[in-house]
């Protein structure tokens, strides 16, 4: 197993677990809450078959990475990603972020610029700004996030059970696009995550990424399910696509939050077509479009 050292907490090193497969142009996969890099299992084979080098890692506090009690904020998450990219000496790579991972994509470019970044993909991502404020009326009421924090603090295991119902829209998709066993596997992954991380990550969901998104100057693909009950399309993906010049928007019809699993064929098709296009910063990109899968 491979790890990169990203810091220390007292006498203990903080390590990120990662996997590095294949060859060709690198694609870095950044998972969502409360999962791990294993959640990309329907994308990794397709990317490898298309000739890409695929790197997937576990965010601090999740999966096989260390579980410190510090660093659960987007500046640190972006710094962790930067240390992984530097460790692997990646060039001309694509960042693909799902849900919380969309925040890493935005903050990484916002903080470090797009040098060596070829393209960006934000899937069901939390940018640009989920919290409803006087200057962000399209956001979600703060009481929703407060309620989630309270539920996680009280009994995170019970919270995860309810959370995954809306993560996959099980009332519509169970037994059709997702099995009970797959949901159980997601629950198992969530259960082994750090209790600290499980709670501390919730307020990061309403980080203000508007300035970060404005700095994204590489070809960008936004993928979002129009039936996302966790990160509403109108508050997130739709706005992100409008804020990034030339961004492509793919809306997955009836797609829940985790379209990477329930609508893997549509997601993989959009992802591979986008990756096959010319990339470098400053190059002309395709006009903004809306595709409905």
99 a catalytic residue: yes
Does the annotation mark 134 as catalytic? no
Q: Which of 52, 224, 257, 263 is catalytic?
A: 257
SS3 track for the chain: CEEEEEEEECCEEEEEEEEEECCCCEEEEECCCCCCHHHHCCCHHHHHHCCCEEEEECCCCCCCCCCCCCCCCHHHHHHHHHHHHHHHCCCCEEEEEECHHHHHHHHHHHHHCCCCEEEEEEECCCCCCCECECCECCCECHHHHHHHHHHHHHHHHHHHHHHHHHHCCHHHHECCCECHHHHHHHHHHHHCCCHHHHHHCHHHHHCCCHHHHHCCCCCEEEEEECCCCCCCCCCCHHHHHHHCCCCEEEEECCCCCCHHHHCHHHHHHHHHHHHCCCCCCCCCCCCCCEEEC
- Per the residue annotation, which of 99, 114, 194, 198 is the catalytic one? 99
Residue 87 annotated to the active site: no
Task: Report how far residue 165's alpha carbon sits from residue 174's, in angstroms, rounded to the nearest whole number.
Answer: 9
Q: Which of 39, 114, 228, 263 is catalytic?
A: 228
Report which of 276, 272, 224 is spatially closest to residue 45, judged by C-alpha positions: 272
Angle at Cα 20 formed by Cα 18 and Cα 22, nearest 5°? 160
Residues tagged active-site? 99, 228, 257
């Amino acid at each position: 197993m491979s790890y990169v050292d990203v810091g220390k907490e007292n006498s203990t090193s903080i390590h990120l677990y990662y996997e590095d497969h294949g060859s060709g142009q690198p694609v870095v996969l950044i998972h969502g809450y409360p999962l791990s890099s294993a959640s990309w299992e329907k994308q990794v084979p397709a990317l490898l078959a298309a000739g890409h080098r695929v790197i997937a890692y576990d965010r601090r506090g999740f999966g096989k990475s260390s579980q410190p009690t510090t660093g659960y904020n987007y500046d640190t998450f972006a710094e962790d990603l930067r240390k992984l990219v530097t460790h692997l000496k990646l060039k001309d790579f694509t960042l693909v972020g799902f849900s919380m991972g969309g925040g890493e994509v935005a903050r990484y470019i916002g903080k470090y610029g797009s040098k060596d970044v070829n393209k960006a993909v934000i899937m069901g991502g939390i940018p640009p700004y989920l919290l409803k404020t006087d200057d962000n009326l399209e956001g979600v009421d703060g009481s929703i996030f407060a309620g989630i924090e309270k539920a996680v603090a009280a009994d995170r295991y019970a919270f995860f059970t309810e959370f995954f119902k809306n993560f996959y829209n099980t009332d519509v998709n169970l037994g059709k696009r997702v099995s009970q066993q797959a949901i159980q596997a997601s629950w198992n992954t969530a259960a082994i995550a750090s209790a600290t991380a499980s709670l501390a990550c919730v307020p990061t969901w309403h980080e203000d990424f508007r300035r970060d998104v404005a700095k994204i100057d590489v070809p960008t693909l936004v993928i979002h399910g129009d039936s996302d009950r966790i990160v509403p399309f109108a508050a997130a993906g739709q706005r992100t696509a409008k804020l990034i010049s030339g961004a492509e928007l793919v809306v997955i019809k009836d797609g829940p939050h985790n379209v990477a699993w329930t609508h893997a064929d549509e997601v993989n098709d959009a992802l591979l077509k986008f990756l096959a296009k010319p990339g470098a910063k400053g190059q002309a990109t395709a006009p903004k479009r809306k595709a409905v899968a």
